[in-house]
């Protein structure tokens, strides 16, 4: 069967579109607030309930690509009640990421079950599924018509949550200039709107632009958690720091 130039170009353009969607998703994930690859960020989390009461937590977050997989590490330093708690997320396959939680009071590491990935991460509006992920696997996203958020031109991607994800559908608005996720809309398994992530402020750090202030809103509970970067540096941690054994050493 003879393949025409037009059909060849069409196949190439479809492949490029699929690859572009996955690449956009990957680049945006590496600039997400809890997943700054190659950087170490000290962050403040302020969670406000529907009753208006707020609580503040401080953590250090860093991320590194090891053997082709993203490893994200978050460790809390304040208040005293959560100091030393650490979470390690290692990107997984179709079955989901591997999440380890270290609790200093118990002096041991435990795995976060897939059934618990939708639970609140340290009593915030972020879930364990949000730590190292956009909510959907990069390769499962598709590109929609471009859009705008806060006047900025954005790629628009849509993806389905994997087997371990609490989300049924995820819609992402990725800034074309910086790859920063400007807005992410999460629906539950039934398709009902559940949460919304928004970047509030962008910050230049060397050759990268990052989300220095962002917020996760729980549209069902009426609560929100605002995340702000206090300090940002290049990461100096070696591969061994991103292991369960290192979690236990503190």
Q: Average the pLDDT over 221-247 and give the result.
A: 94
The more confident residue out of 217 and 10 is 217
Read off the CATH number of the domain in which 171 is found: 2.50.20.10
Q: Is residue 180 part of a domain?
A: yes
Structural domain of 134: 18-249
pLDDT in the model for residue 141: 86
The strand ranges marked E within the chain are 39-48, 54-66, 69-78, 86-93, 96-103, 108-111, 142-149, 152-160, 169-175, 181-187, 193-205, 208-218, 223-234
Q: Is residue 79 part of a domain?
A: yes
Q: Is residue 197 part of a domain?
A: yes
Q: Is residue 217 part of a domain?
A: yes
pLDDT in the model for residue 31: 67
Nearest to 196 by CA among 167, 212, 220, 216: 216
Q: Is residue 1 part of a domain?
A: no
pLDDT in the model for residue 17: 45
pLDDT band with cut points at 50, 70 and 90 for residue 240 = very high
- How close are the terminal C-alpha atoms of the chain, in Å? 63
Q: Based on the number of CB atoms within 10 Å of its own CB, is 184 exposed (0-12), middle (13-18) or buried (19 or more)?
A: buried
The more confident residue out of 138 and 205 is 205
Tokens 């990107």, residue located: 91
Q: State yes or no: pLDDT of 21 exceeds 90.
A: no
How far is C-alpha 136 from the geometric centre of its chain's CA atoms?
Answer: 10
Q: Average the pLDDT over 21-30 and give the result.
A: 81
pLDDT band with cut points at 50, 70 and 90 for residue 23 = confident
pLDDT in the model for residue 8: 34
Percent of the chain residues topping a pLDDT of 70 = 86
Q: State yes or no: pLDDT of 2 exceeds 50.
A: no
Q: Average the pLDDT over 88-104 and give the result.
A: 83
Q: In this predicted model, what pLDDT tens digit does every residue of 107-161 receive, in sequence order?
A: 899 999 888 888 899 999 999 888 766 666 777 789 999 999 999 999 999 998 7
Q: Average the pLDDT over 81-99 and give the result.
A: 84
Q: Is residue 176 part of a domain?
A: yes
Q: List Cβ neighbours of 139 (8 Å cut-off, separation of 6 or more).
A: 22
Q: Is residue 224 part of a domain?
A: yes
Q: How far is CA 8 from CA 14, 18, 21, 22, in A?
A: 10, 16, 20, 22
Q: Is residue 55 part of a domain?
A: yes
User: How many structural domains comprise the chain?
Assistant: 1
Rounded to two decimals, the pTM is 0.85
The more confident residue out of 160 and 35 is 160
């Amino acid at each position: 069967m003879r393949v025409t130039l037009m059909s060849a170009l069409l196949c190439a353009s479809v492949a490029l579109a699929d690859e572009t969607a996955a690449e956009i998703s990957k680049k945006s994930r590496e600039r997400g607030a809890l997943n700054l690859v190659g950087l170490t960020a000290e962050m403040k989390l302020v969670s406000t309930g529907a009753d208006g009461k707020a609580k503040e937590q401080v953590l250090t977050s860093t991320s590194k690509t090891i053997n082709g997989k993203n490893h994200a590490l978050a460790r809390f330093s304040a208040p005293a009640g959560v100091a030393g708690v650490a979470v390690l997320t290692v990107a997984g396959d179709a079955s989901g990421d591997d999440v380890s939680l270290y609790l200093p009071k118990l002096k041991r590491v435990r795995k976060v079950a897939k059934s618990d990935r939708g639970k609140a991460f340290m009593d915030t509006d972020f879930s364990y599924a949000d730590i190292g992920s956009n909510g959907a696997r990069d390769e499962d996203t598709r590109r929609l018509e471009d859009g705008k958020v806060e006047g900025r031109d954005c790629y628009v991607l849509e993806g389905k949550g994997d087997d371990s994800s609490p989300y049924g559908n995820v819609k992402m608005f990725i800034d074309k200039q910086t790859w920063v996720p400007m807005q992410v809309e999460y629906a539950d398994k039934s398709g009902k709107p559940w949460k919304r992530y928004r970047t509030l402020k962008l910050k230049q750090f060397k050759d990268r632009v990052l989300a220095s202030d962002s917020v996760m809103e729980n549209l069902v509970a009426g609560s929100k958690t605002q995340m702000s970067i206090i300090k940002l540096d290049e990461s100096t941690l070696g591969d061994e720091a991103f292991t369960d054994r290192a979690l236990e050493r503190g």
